[in-house]
Amino acid sequence: MLVVRPAGPSDLDFLLELAILSGPGFTSLPEDPDQLAERLDLSRDSFAGVLQPQERWYTLMLEESETGDVDGVGSVKAAVGLKRPFFSFRVVTNTQSSPSLGIKLEQKTLVLVNECTGWTEVGSLFLKADRRKGGAGRLLSQSRYMLIGAEPDLFADTVLAELRGVFTPDGACPFWDHVAHKFFPMEFDEADRMTGSTDKQFILDLAPRHPVYVELLPEPARAVIGKVHPQGVPAMALLESEGFRPNGLIDIFDAGPTVTCQRDNIRTVRDARQLTVAIADEVEAELPALISTNSVGAFRAVRQRAHMEGDIATLSRETAEALRVRAGDTVRVKA
């Protein structure tokens, strides 16, 4: 059975393997054991509740319960931009006209902004290639919203997700090569690493202080602004199905889009029901349901069959064991 569970320090080898497989541009999964170890310590302390709510970064692992293999990762960062800025480019459309010539033009510009302070971020969604079919990605993605829905007050009213921008098959990034690299004279991987491991002062020091006119950029750079990496297309579809929409912000290095949704309007947060657990040897239900615990500290999630009648969700013993719940406990269920 696939189970989504909290990540902790013992998952370092699993997380490092996933980081290596994720490839370039995945800022939240650096191929750096020290950074990943710090993140797993942060995850442990977040689920334990020993950090202030806005400092928490919850990391989730997708595990095959029979083998113990970890095949995917996802995360929820309670608040961004508080200790370190959260920089983006805003795509701004300016209208210019000359009545005497009868000419009206719309010019798009990229403006450096820091608008997302305090928002919750869902991210780090990555699965091994052989797990990208059969609903595993949806389980892992939706588990993040079940986590938020379990204790909504721990999270911000606005939730965002950044999607990786376009890279060519040989690993080149058109937006970086033609635009960002002009301001940050270093390798993409170095800039990416510094984004995750420093206070980002280097961005404030080196980023363009004036609007960048999109029409002046080379066509390969213009073509990828706000576009998603091919591997991120399924993730974008999942986000859109939950109600997320582009908000006009893009990543300053790879031009990938930012999408947002109000926390209480996220479909899984809104539609999941709190039900009381009953346990049976056999469960009759037409389709599996998304089921999670009702607390952040003991969070676990699965997609299994549940018979729902009134305020009762009857689960199989195997499902109850995977969630570590007993009869009479409360779970959240989304059919």
Active site residues: 229
Question: DSSP strand E in 22-164: where?
Answer: 57-64, 70-77, 88-98, 103-113, 120-127, 158-162
Give, as one character, the DSSP assignment of residue 176.
I
Angle at 234 (CA atoms; ends 308, 20), nearest 5 degrees: 110
SS3 307: strand
Helix axes 33-48, 12-22, angle to 10 degrees: 120
Q: Of 261, 296, 318, 6, give the one whose Cα is nearest residue 146.
A: 296
User: The tokens of 190 are what?
Assistant: 């170095």
Alpha-carbon span 49 to 296, nearest angstrom: 9
User: Does residue 303 contact residue 290 with C-beta atoms inside 8 Å?
Assistant: yes
Residue 24 identity: P
Cβ contacts of 271 within 8 Å, gap of 6 or more? 334
CA 164 vs CA 107, 228, 324: distances in Å:
25, 6, 35
Alpha-carbon span 77 to 53, nearest angstrom: 10
Alpha-carbon span 304 to 286, nearest angstrom: 11
Alpha-carbon span 60 to 295, nearest angstrom: 14
